[in-house]
Amino acid sequence: MLPAAEAEAKILSLVSLPAETEQVSLDAALGRILAQSIPSPLDFPHWDNSAMDGYAVRYDDVQGAGAGTPVALTVTETIPAGRSPTLPVGPGQAARILTGSMLPAGADTIVIQEVTRREGDRVLVLEAPQPGQFVRRRGSFCRANDPLMGAGLPIGGPELAVLAAAQCVQVPVFRQPRVAILSTGDELVSPTTPLQPGQIVDSNQYALGALVRRVGAVPIPMGIVPDQPQALKAAIQLALTQADVILSSGGVSVGDFDYVDDILADLGAMLHVRSVAVKPGKPLTVATFPAGQGADRLYFGLPGNPVSALVTFWRFVAPALRQRSGLGEGWGPMFVPATTRHGLKAGGQRETYLWGRLESTPAGHWFELASGGHNSGNLINLAGTNALAVVPVGTTSIPANETVRVMVVG
């Protein structure tokens, strides 16, 4: 069994970076990964403008202003936001200006309206400003042709705002990884099929599809494959023609009907991981295929038990999909220290993951262990999980109110 950190490093070393890019509209770019650096087509700000409501003045005219020595200036015009000034500001003059309005020629400083008093077409300046006060200079945020954003950046709300401001209406992004998902087992049926004795509803197809979408990839549901070697081989061969990554659940342990590893070997795949020292989720197969059969394809054979399938996805598959999507950094799982509200138990032989909820408070992070049994078949108390407490190898218990390493999954 490979230790978790070693398995993660090996898996990430197998990931092929995306080669295909596409252009999407600004409206469709949310959640995608930027495929190339975007140079700014404009100066930001586009022109000198005011950061406050007030008056655009010449600093030389108002540097001696004070409550006892107000400076009177003639107001020549009002400059609303979105309009160009029509007159320069000369000696003894000022222009009424609003936040975001262009600075008129001749002016170099903004006097905020709170330290002025208006008298008809004159304004009295009651306090001397600093030179250049509240003026946002053209290009002070970003100059034309400077990079706005680099490749590998996930596009969220702030990035969309920058792209929109730069009038970048077609965005170059990496093609999202396509992930084939198949469930193996004669005992599995769909949620719409009436259960017969011994049958189990295939929940993994739905859970894994949702988690694949969450990391920015495209799930390709391929349904249930019976425990028949030829049927499973045909399903994997079909998946190789449709997807960049293949996820199967079940069939990777040592049972009489666990055929995945043998079929992968028969297809010429190289098996890099056979099991990992984690609980739940020891059976994990990771394979790549030879040239001509999907040399850039990555195969994950996950355990069939629902909790094991989700834990191994969170711990090992999600980082690989994030890297495969073109994300520039931050592929791996996020761990934070937290105080556990409950005592945590483990066998000590494997790195153990116990599910529950992470709560952030002003006093720090707290971990609330899910109630009920913590075994790989108990899917029910997984509802509401957003974190996994990690009990390291060699540790059999962590008392309540002690610090524990927690993996954030939601």
The pLDDT assigned to 303 comes to 92
The pLDDT assigned to 231 comes to 93
- Hey, which of 15-19, 92-96, 238-242 has the most confident mean pLDDT? 92-96
Query: Which among 64, 67, 61 is positioned nearest to 95, based on CA atoms?
Result: 61
The pLDDT assigned to 255 comes to 57
The pLDDT assigned to 294 comes to 62
- The angle subtended at Cα 49 by Cα 140 and Cα 107, nearest 5°, is 110
In this predicted model, what pLDDT tens digit does every residue of 160-175 receive, in sequence order? 999 999 999 999 999 9
Neighbours of 362 (CB within 10 A): 4
Q: Which class for 372: exposed (0-12), middle (13-18), buried (19 or more C-beta within 10 A)?
A: exposed
Domains, the chain: 4-19+175-324 (3.40.980.10), 21-44+141-174 (3.90.105.10), 49-136 (2.170.190.11), 334-408 (2.40.340.10)
The pLDDT assigned to 292 comes to 67
Mean pLDDT of the chain: 94
Binning pLDDT at 50, 70 and 90, where does residue 16 land?
A: confident
The pLDDT assigned to 18 comes to 84
The pLDDT assigned to 377 comes to 79
The answer to pTM > 0.85 is yes
Percentages helix, strand, coil for the chain (3-state, rounded to 5) are 20, 35, 45
In this predicted model, what pLDDT tens digit does every residue of 280-318 receive, in sequence order? 988 999 999 986 666 689 999 999 999 999 999 999 999
Neighbours of 343 (CB within 10 A): 12
The pLDDT assigned to 374 comes to 86
User: Percent of the chain having pLDDT more than 90?
Assistant: 88
The pLDDT assigned to 8 comes to 96
Query: Which among 20, 310, 68 is positioned nearest to 176, based on CA atoms?
Result: 20
In this predicted model, what pLDDT tens digit does every residue of 258-271 receive, in sequence order? 688 889 999 999 99
